[in-house]
Structure formats: structure tokens, C-alpha cells
Structure 1
């Protein structure tokens, strides 16, 4: 396999959304199927504007019955408390033994705002600025416990080394948080933060805070342009752009089985659809599209959304992914155990431990 620099490893993720499914078993089955294919992670969407189970709670159910695949629920930063959100995501990382991600999203509609009655709907630019502050304070709270802060010394009765707990003392435009967190530092240090940058208003937040950016582009040129923009902005924020993975979001309709892609869906596509860029055809041409875009350095991988689940997820894993594995373009096993390891991302150092800061007496 190649290094994580340059073209890098191919990263694949899949959505396991199943509208109108409220029991846990179908989500468990879908995640296990994706895990058998060696996918980096699965996502489960969520919003206050639709009925259905809470994505983070579903992923907490999936975690104990899977062993390697990353679990990335959507959790909005609008109308929620940043302290509670970060604690819930940290808990998922503990429950999954280091496989948690967090797809950061905002709630922009007046209907969602009325569910809470605290404030009116706000412009997207303002909501994503707030989301950036939440992403920032979440990382600070994850660092508020040093890795060895827990002593658990039965003889002395000391559970925590208080010198290794830190107040974050965050004062932002939209909220303030003192900390520390109520959850010890997650196994990954920072669970993986994912942002869909289809809305240009989200791109600044993604460039500054995301580990993975999802872009829905209908052409290789469009996807490459967004990737260049994100990497340049990340570097402008003082980040290493090679620490940001950019995945192309693609709706896949494999209902035609082995048939070739319809005109404009394969080499010339994908096509526009109401759900985003759409590929319609067989697993072989989809594998060619994925290999082509990745091989040309257009994106670091793909986030694939089955048009009809579980049918398309099964054909994706047993068809397209198997073909990529056979060609040596995608992993056949997980070399690591955490989502960060799957993505080739380093475990962040604890900012407070590294700075040698100590809390007030």
C-alpha cells in the first residue's frame, strides 16, 4: 500500500440511513455488512426536522456488536448544549473503543427553532460560525482530562489526580464553557470530526476543525476544486492540509445489477439528482469511477449513499468494494483498531499536558 501522503490510501464510507426503520437490528446488520467490506466508517443522518430514532443513540447500540468500523452519527450544534454534545460523542468513543466520529451539522429552519422556542432561525453563515465554536470547545473539553488523570487507587481512595484536570475557560460569541468535562479523555484523544461542505458556508468550519470533509460534486473538476480550496484554507489556519481527508459524496443506485452505467453516470458522470450526485449502473463501472477519481488525486475517497438500502449496500460491498480489493486498491483487513488509524490520522496531543498548564488551586 502507498503512504498517507500524496495520493494516499483510498478511503470508503457508507451511509446506513433507512427511513421509517425504528428498530436497531437493520442498522446493526448494515454496519456489520460494511465492516465485512473493510469500510472506514458508516454514517447515520439525523435532524430535528424529521421523525426517527436519534442517530447517536443508534450508533451506541451498534458499537458493542461491531469491532472495527467507525461510527459517525450526525449531531447538530444548533439548539443543543456544547457541553452535553461533546460528552455524548466522547461516550460513544469509549463505548466503541475508539471508533467514534461526529458529523457536525446545523439546524437552519424556523420549524426546528420552534421545537425549542429559545431563538429564531438564523442565517447559515451564523450557524456555521457557532458550529465552529462548538467544534473548538469540544476539543478543549476532550483535552480537559489528561490521559492518565484517573488514578483509581483503592488504598488511598484517590480516583482522580486533580492536577491533571483542566478548566477550558472558553468565552465565545455564542456561549461560554468553563469545564472540565465529566467524561475522561476519549480513546482517540479527539473523536473524528466530519463536516459536509455542500453548503459553502460550512467550508470555513471544515477547513479549520474537520478531520473529514464531505463534498457532493457532479464532476471530478468540481470535487478537485473544492479539495484544493479546503486544503489551502486549512493551511491558512496553521493546519497540515495532509491531515484533512476529503471524500466525494455519491448516491449509488445499483438496482440494475451488472449492467453498465447509464450515459453520464459512469465515466461522464455522475448526474444531478434531488439527493445529490447520482451514479446509476453496475458495480464494475462504479469501481472504475472510484478508482479513477482517487487515482487522479481528485479526492481522498468516497462517502457512498445507497439509493435503496439494504439492496445497494449489499451490492456495493460484495461487488464494487470486492473489485477494488481484488485490484489492490482498497484494504482487505483493518490494520488498526480506531477510526483515526483507519483514516491515517494521528492521535492529537493533549494541549494542556503539552503546555504544562495546571488548574487554579
Structure 2
């Protein structure tokens, strides 16, 4: 099956990872910069394999300190409880007024399994199957309250219309959940699901469940191939492929903000690095690279990780993004309020109501 689609809206996101940081203010400065540039969202990585603050808790703290930028923490589906995960993400969507996303990941190591002591480390194949099941039950639980289920009638003492709650019974490979959720349906309906789809196993999960798929590639042609494959797989799983955004993920070192692309970067293109594709050069050449990949239809946008978090994000926003805005290629303000609106994604219909019967 061939699913053709040319370039559309230009999407930009940035990582705000700060190894060793323990102050909310440090993360707030980075999120504020991203919001100044009207970026779609920021991500904050997390893992049981390394020390650091809890990403979801940090972005929940940033929610009242920001106004428009999307907030996407990594939350693993391994060793966690699906019911708690979905409730925490729904809460982030409420406190941010519809700006929450979820970076889905798995925990594969023996050391991580020993932190919990409940089950041994499992093969990646099983873990990504479980991740898909967690994403599926999360969506069902987010929809377990209809949008108008809350009554809040003080005169009668009724808080909720029980006819508009759905008691989901879900049996996964490694867990079972019986709803409804304890949190009303999120403002976005479903927080935005983000998956790094570079490898084959997470790519399957991304094609079926993700709203945004990240691909870590060094060449435009490879990016275009992966985007086409993801869209075809999405269509095969019964989805409209236009509901999937594919962003190229690059680490960027903008040096002093003035230099041209360094030799070995293919005239401004990224090159492979130990942690994925790596670009080193100036903001202007980076802008040309981004425009080239996007205008060709290779990607829907980019997720950029600053090599030096604060200075490189400043150069990205004040240099690269400002140039794209000046050329009319990227927005200068947020036309909407929610992350789904930034991404041009519709608010999903309630799965229970749409199905017309209990799930």
C-alpha cells in the first residue's frame, strides 16, 4: 500500500533534559525559551536506569509556569501500573489545560527490574507488546468518563452521572484493569502519545498508537522511507495516516551561533553520532537543513536536542526559529491552546461512545 502525502504544517519540538538539575527554575527557563519560539512541545526524558528527577512531576510543576507549549514527559510502561500511569497523565493534561503528551518507553535491563523486584527483565519484544497494551487501555480509561459525566449539582448532592461512566474490563498479557478512571476525561480527550520509532519494535507500537513518531536518522532519504513506512503501517492498522506526525530527531550543537556547518556534516547535514544523528554548525545552515527535509515531504518536522541545553536552545530559538518565522515558514504565535491544536490533530471521539457498547 502506498500512502502519499506532501509537506504540511511545520512542527518543531525540543528536549529540555538537564542532567543533574534539581531546581524547577532551571527547567522553567528552557520551557519558557521554547514557548517564546512557539515550539509545539518540549520533552523531558526519564529512565529507571539513571538518576534524576521524575520527568512527569517536573513538567507538572512547569504546567502553571507556562501558557502554551506542550509538555511531554517520558513515562515507562515497564514495572509501572497502567491505571496509575494514565491517571497521572490525565492529571497533567488537566493542570496544563490540555497541553500534555506522553513519551512512551520501556525498561529492558536486569538492574531496572531489580529496583522493583516483582518480575525479571523481559525481552524487548514482550515489553513493546506490553507498551502497546498500556497505550490501548490508557485511551479506554481516559474515555471511561464521557465529557459531560460530571454534574456537580449541590442541590441534589450528585457529582457524576453514573450512566456516563464506562466500566472497562481489559486483560493484557501481563496485567488486567477494570475502570473507570478516577480522573475525568482529559481536556484533549487523549493526551498526545509520542514514541521514538527508530527501531523496529517501537515502530510497530508507534504505527498503531502514536500521534507523534520520532525517527533518529542522518539522511533525508532515510527519513522519507521511515515516514512512508510508518504511514503505511498506520493505514494497515485501520488508522488515518494523516493523524500521525513524523519528526526527525537530531542533536544540535550551534557552537557560537555564527559558524557554518563543520566539515563532515555534508554541507550542513547531520552525521551519525554515539547518541544518534548529530548536527554541528550555525543556526542559518540548520534552518536550511530543516527547510530542505520538510519541503521535500521527508518529515513533518523536527525534535531537536540542544548539545548544551541553555546556550544551544537560545541559539535555536533566536537564530534558526527566528529565521524560519521571518521567512513565513514557521508560526510566530500559537493559534490554539492545546497540544493537539499545535499539531493539527483533532480531539478524538470517545471510544466507548463511538463503539456504542461497553468495552
Superposition TM-score, scaled by structure 1 size: 0.96
Q: How does 1:258-277 map to 2 (within 5 A)?
A: 258-265=258-265, 267=267, 269-277=269-277
* Contact 2:262–2:268 (8 Å) recurs in 1: no
Task: Name the SS for the 1:310 alignment partner.
Answer: helix
| Farther-moved stretch of structure 1 (159-168 vs 192-201) | 192-201
State yes or no: 1:147 paired with 2:147: yes
Is the counterpart of residue 117 in structure 1 residue 106 in structure 2? Answer: no
Query: What SS does structure 1 have at the residue aligned with 2:22?
Result: coil
CA distance in 2, matches of 1:198, 1:308: 23
With over 3 angstroms needed to count, the CA separation of the structure-2 counterparts of 1:250 and 1:168, relative to structure 1, is same
Q: Deviations over 1:111-161 (max 9, x none)?
A: 101100111111111110000000000000000000000000011110000
Counterparts in 2 of 1:188-267, with a 5 A limit? 188-265=188-265, 267=267
Superposed, which structure 2 residues align to 1:7-86 within 5 Å? 7-86=7-86
Q: Distance in 1 between matches of 2:141 and 2:266?
A: 44
Shift of 1:268: 5.8
Instruction: Tell me the equivalent position of 1:284.
Output: 284
Distance in 2 (alpha carbons) for counterparts of 1:319 and 1:337: 25
Task: Name stretches of at least 5 consecutive residues in structure 2 with no aligned partner.
Answer: none
Kept in 1, the 8 Å contact 2:268–2:281? The answer is: no
Look up the SS of the partner of 2:13 in the other structure: strand
Matched residue, 1:183: 183
Say if 2:268 and 2:286, in contact at 8 Å, map to a contact too. no
Cα deviation for residue 263 of structure 1 reads 2.5
Corresponding residue number in structure 1 for 2:92: 92
Q: What is the number of equivalent residue pairs in this alignment?
A: 355
Moved over 3 A (4+): 355-359
Instruction: Tell me the alpha carbon deviations over residues 212-262 of structure 1, each in whole angstroms, 9 at most, x when there is no partner.
Output: 000000101111111111101000000000100000000000113211101
CA distance in 1, matches of 2:13, 2:249: 9
The correspondence of residues 98-137 of structure 1 with structure 2, limited to 5 A, is: 98-137=98-137
Cα contact 2:268–2:279 (8 A) shared by 1 = no
Match of 1:337 in 2: 337
Unaligned runs of 5+ residues in structure 1 are none
Q: For the residues of structure 2 that align with 1:263 and 1:119, how far apart are their CA atoms?
A: 48
Contact 1:194 1:211 in 2 (8 A): yes
Mapped to 1, the partners of 2:338 and 2:267 lie a distance apart of 34
Q: Using the TM superposition, name which of 261-270 and 107-116 deviates more.
A: 261-270
Deviations 1:170-211 (A, max 9, x none): 112121111000000000000000000122210100000000
Distance in 1, matches of 2:54 and 2:344, equals: 29
2:310 corresponds to: 310
TM-superposed deviation, 1:38: 0.3
What SS class does the counterpart of residue 309 from structure 2 fall into?
coil
Deviation (angstroms), 1:264: 3.4
The separation in 1 between residues aligned to 2:283 and 2:44, in whole angstroms, is 23
Cα pair distance change 1:320/1:268, threshold 3 Å = closer
Which TM-score applies when normalising by structure 2? 0.97
Q: CA RMSD in A?
A: 1.1
Distance 2:233 2:356 in 1: 30
Q: Distance in 2 between matches of 1:279 and 1:358?
A: 50
